[in-house]
Structure 1
């Protein structure tokens, strides 16, 4: 029996998905809908959530609850979880995808923007766990997936807030895993994703500088959503995705001086678009920007960026630079 399946013969498994109106969260919700799960969708914007709900219903989800919620607000998360339990009478799985990005050196980012990234990505994950774990523990079963990033294992220039937050999500997942080992039916999983083609790069906050883009090889949001749904139903403590994830992590740990010397120039070529300069702004970090919500970001596979690096493009040799990355 899948961890998200009902312990009794009646009832369809219910899964709560945060960040469900765009990108990986939306992709995970759509995949779970295809698998016939009942869904509770959380995100900040009501309009995009309603659009996501309609798609989920059309794909076969028997029940979709829409709960506009900012995961930075602990009380709001508590109310949302309580409402899911009131309406559905159960909660079997949780996928936490809510996340935002801000680009800029540590001293360049306004404190409010830095804090909002950490509050959403890290504290938001803690808020979700705080209010779903008591119920899952009371029923002695369930599956939780916290979605992280390869950047939660390394360091990259101009992504201080995102890097700190994703390192924290990884620690939080491990902590929750350790604290719930006493219940064999309760699973906490962490999924580290590579660069994903989602709108997060153009919706990001910026101190001003080149637009971010996912580094090659880029996964589609749909592929990431399928992986997240699979881990929810076939849990494992840690899942690393992406062909270069292991190599990058090993380089960071085993050859730190080499990594530090190369990460700036490589990421300036592979993970930023020098042809598109973003002005300073909050993006969707502190407030929802519904017009930017969608499944994909239109970035493609990233192969062009990789070929440009190998060929030197028309800019000559790669020079050290501070560049954003997902």
Structure 2
């Protein structure tokens, strides 16, 4: 059965990887993000994979934008079977040194816009008799770290929201709510983050590929689960935060400065908090090697060496 899947935050990172994953499965896609240029590029990628695609440029923090997106999806494809929400922004800085409007924008995008997506999607699902909502949280919805207060506040809020929605959904058969919580992922969000700390952020190891998170999201649409954790150390970090809070608090600051921040200086900037940057929209952030490209390069080099050897033997 061909499904109609709406993806918000579709043009970068986990959202873009998820769009490719669903396109490869033959689903019909409704892709939404702020940049028309990035959406057009992703549309062409997904159509090349054989998917029917509708793109809707929008800012999910704008009043009425999410409802208009749902209406466009239903007009184009008749119904919405799944809604995957991955849109998120991030800012680094000490809480008291980060501009208030920056903190507010992170919470507005990462929590309040997610709540509006859930509100609109669940109303459609109840009217249609079913549907699956997948929200993208974070391991930082269960633990804390310094210099990311807005993002962490939003992800903790999203964790609580998802749990409350799951409890309410017990009264609406056919409606499922899933929460996918990645750890460190190789996406551009760290480079695109606002920064008021003087040092850029980076994903602390071990780093997961966004394609792995995308597969977990697609699997939730296939077989819904309440919560999925993607990351080898997520359980360890949650254990330390909960069971050994004193030790955790002593270690988390030095570890964050060592593994979660780059060393080169950076001037204060807003990143993509208030405007999109099509040039930085990509699946990968460059923190992991692109293994398919490595395999192709090694294969090409091996073939070239083999051809050279054969020519000399003739």
**TM-score, length-normalised on structure 1?**
0.87
* The 10-residue stretch of structure 1 (173-182 or 110-119) with the greater mean CA deviation from structure 2: 173-182
Corresponding position: 1:300 with 2:297: no
Displacement of 1:237: 0.4
- In 1: Cα distance, 2:281 partner to 2:168 partner: 35
Q: Which residue of 2 aligns with 1:13?
A: 3
Query: Which one has the bigger helix percentage?
Result: 2
Runs of 4+ in 1 over 2 A off after TM superposition: none
Query: Does the CA-based 8 Å contact 1:151-1:163 persist in structure 2?
Result: yes
Counterpart pick for 1:284 among 267, 272, 275: 272
Q: Which residue of 2 aligns with 1:319?
A: none
Displacement of 1:74: 3.3
- In 1: Cα distance, 2:57 partner to 2:33 partner: 5
Q: Which residue of 2 aligns with 1:216?
A: 205
Query: Does the CA-based 8 Å contact 2:94-2:197 persist in structure 1?
Result: no
- In 1: Cα distance, 2:129 partner to 2:226 partner: 18
Equivalent position SS for 1:146: strand
Query: Does the CA-based 8 Å contact 1:102-1:206 persist in structure 2?
Result: yes
Query: Does the CA-based 8 Å contact 1:194-1:245 persist in structure 2?
Result: yes
Equivalent position SS for 1:208: coil
Counterpart pick for 2:46 among 39, 53, 56: 56
Post-superposition Cα deviations, 1:268-325, rounded to whole Å, max 9, x if no partner, equal 1111111x22210100011111111111000127xxxxxxxxxxxxxxxxxxxxxxxx
Corresponding position: 1:24 with 2:14: yes
The 5 Å alignment of 1:1-326 reads: 5=1, 12-61=2-51, 63-274=52-263, 276-300=264-288
Query: Does the CA-based 8 Å contact 2:122-2:175 persist in structure 1?
Result: no
* The 10-residue stretch of structure 1 (226-235 or 30-39) with the greater mean CA deviation from structure 2: 226-235
Post-superposition Cα deviations, 1:222-248, rounded to whole Å, max 9, x if no partner, equal 111111111121110011111110110
- In 1: Cα distance, 2:17 partner to 2:196 partner: 29
Query: Which one has the bigger strand percentage?
Result: 1
CA RMSD for the aligned pairs? 1.1
Query: Does the CA-based 8 Å contact 1:208-1:277 persist in structure 2?
Result: no
* The 10-residue stretch of structure 1 (31-40 or 207-216) with the greater mean CA deviation from structure 2: 207-216
Displacement of 1:182: 1.5
